[in-house]
Chain A
């Protein structure tokens, strides 16, 4: 099990908090809420070790299209990058709903 943290610059405030997903096998849950400061912070807990670089790529990609100052907690149980992006996008959708 690994803990990974990432920080990204942000431009917009995040208005509320949203929760997406289930940390079941091959899946993940996402908790997204306003950040305590002006940046976006991501804290990943994952059951699969050694994929730090992959996580960075996925999150880099996500943050090219999202610039909210969000504190994002991810509890991951071996999801593929595609599923991770899907859940993050669902979280953003829920934020804008």
Chain B
């Protein structure tokens, strides 16, 4: 790299985590190409939240934007973690699934689209339960279908992380980029503590939580592909790299390998997180 010093690069760093969903989408698309679909002024709001005294946000907590990534047509779906914990309801789920379905339709018309998911979500919005869950199933279906045409790339940055049914969506993606601050797991620590007790998991023990499901642990044990700095430019570079690379075999397809690496593990006394890294650590490609 010419010219820029380490100090200059440090000062130029921009936290990705501090950006809201819309700014994150804008940051990862080529400059000047961001165009939002079904945005706040379309007022596609939750029909269910006002019935329960919850204020409905005008975009229901998901931003869908078209643009380009490295000059190639793209669509970004970015979940707003600050609204209802990024939880997926009917409308937000329809935006996620609908965007992926339209990308799929474009491929059938011979028009490639690069799909990018920015996942900051606790999973299903309990206030919309069955419609949120159904939407997540539709997101899953769309990712599997779309993956045949193009890598589906996801970023989990924090601080909400990616939980619930959407953690399965992250695991279905072709490439998953995480930060150290990210967490990725099926059940949130609070719910595990509530259901299984404090001895099982102390949701207040942050070091423990991140050792189990934090970005660094996940990348070191094969659940994520790239550990990126919390920097918009760095994450953008990883996204572009993910699309430019040849599509890998998705981790969710490697059933025999997954079964094999669990084979020797004692369900009553599994390895500690650090030991698991030694067991399952993969060399970076």
Check if A19 sits within 8 Å of B41, measured CB to CB.
yes
82-123 of chain B: CB within 8 A of chain A: 82-83
Are B82 and A31 closer than 8 Å at their CB atoms?
no
Asked if residues B55 and A47 are in contact (CB atoms below 8 Å), the reply is yes
* Residues in A whose Cβ lies below 8 Å from that of B80: 22
Residue of B at shortest CB range from A19? B40
Nearest CB on B from A25, distance (A): 8
Say yes or no for A24: interface residue by CB 8 A criterion: yes
* Residues of the B chain whose Cβ atoms lie less than 8 Å from the Cβ of A75: 55-58
> Are B58 and A19 in touch, CB under 8 angstroms?
yes
In A22-63, which residues have CB < 8 Å from any B CB?
22-24, 27, 29, 31, 33, 45-47
Q: Is B3 an interface residue (CB 8 A)?
A: no
Q: Which of B50, B54, B82 has the most CB of A within 10 A?
A: B82
Report the minimum CB–CB distance from A16 to chain B (whole Å).
Answer: 11
A85 located at the interface, meaning its Cβ lies under 8 Å from any Cβ of chain B in the complex: no
* CB <8 Å contact, A23 and B41: no
**Residues on the B chain within 8 Å of A73, using CB:** 58
Q: Answer yes or no: A1 CB below 8 A from chain B CBs.
A: yes
Contacts of B53 in A (CB 8 A): 1, 47
Q: Determine if A76 and B55 form an interchain contact, defined as CB atoms under 8 angstroms apart.
A: yes
User: In the complex the two chains form, what is the Cα distance from A27 to B212 in whole Å?
Assistant: 32
Q: For the complex, give the distance between the alpha carbons of A27 and B20 in Å.
A: 13
Among B39, B41, B54, B82, the residue within 8 A (CB) of A27 is: B82
Among the listed B40, B41, B55, B82, which residue makes an inter-chain contact with A45, where contact means beta carbons less than 8 Å apart? Answer: B55
A-B contact count (CB 8 A): 42
Q: Which residue of B lies closest to A23 (CB)?
A: B57
Bound complex: CA A23 to CA B40 (Å): 12
Interface presence of A17 (CB below 8 A): yes
Q: What is the interface residue range for chain A against chain B? A: 10 to 19
Question: Cβ of A92 < 8 Å from any Cβ of B?
Answer: no
Find out whether the CB atom of B41 lies under 8 angstroms from the CB atom of A47: no
A10 contacts partner chain B, Cβ-Cβ < 8 Å: no
Q: A14: which B residues are within 8 A, CB to CB?
A: none
Contacts known (A1-B50, A22-B20, A27-B82); A17 close to B41, Cβ less than 8 A = yes
Chain B residues 63-88 with CB under 8 Å of chain A are: 80, 82-83
With A and B bound together, what is the CA distance between A26 and B80 in angstroms? 15
**Contacts known (A47-B55, A75-B57, A75-B58); A23 close to B83, Cβ less than 8 A:** yes
Complex-state Cα separation, A43 to B58, whole angstroms:
13
Chain A residues, Cβ within 8 Å of B58:
19, 29, 31, 73, 75
A31 touches B55 (CB 8 A): no
Q: Are A31 and B57 touching (Cβ within 8 A)?
A: no
Mask of B1-28 contacts with A, CB within 8 angstroms, 1/0: 0000000000000000000100000000
Query: Within 8 Å of chain B (Cβ to Cβ): is A95?
Result: no
Residue of B nearest to A28 (CB): B55
18 other A-B residue contacts (CB within 8 Å) besides A19-B40, A45-B55, A46-B55: A1-B54, A19-B58, A23-B55, A23-B57, A23-B83, A24-B83, A29-B40, A29-B57, A29-B58, A45-B50, A47-B53, A47-B54, A47-B55, A73-B58, A75-B55, A75-B56, A75-B58, A77-B55
**28 pairs of residues in contact across A and B, judged by CB atoms under 8 Å:** A1-B50, A1-B53, A1-B54, A1-B55, A17-B41, A19-B39, A19-B40, A19-B41, A19-B58, A22-B20, A22-B80, A22-B82, A22-B83, A23-B57, A23-B83, A24-B82, A24-B83, A31-B41, A31-B58, A45-B50, A45-B55, A47-B53, A47-B54, A73-B58, A75-B56, A75-B57, A75-B58, A77-B55
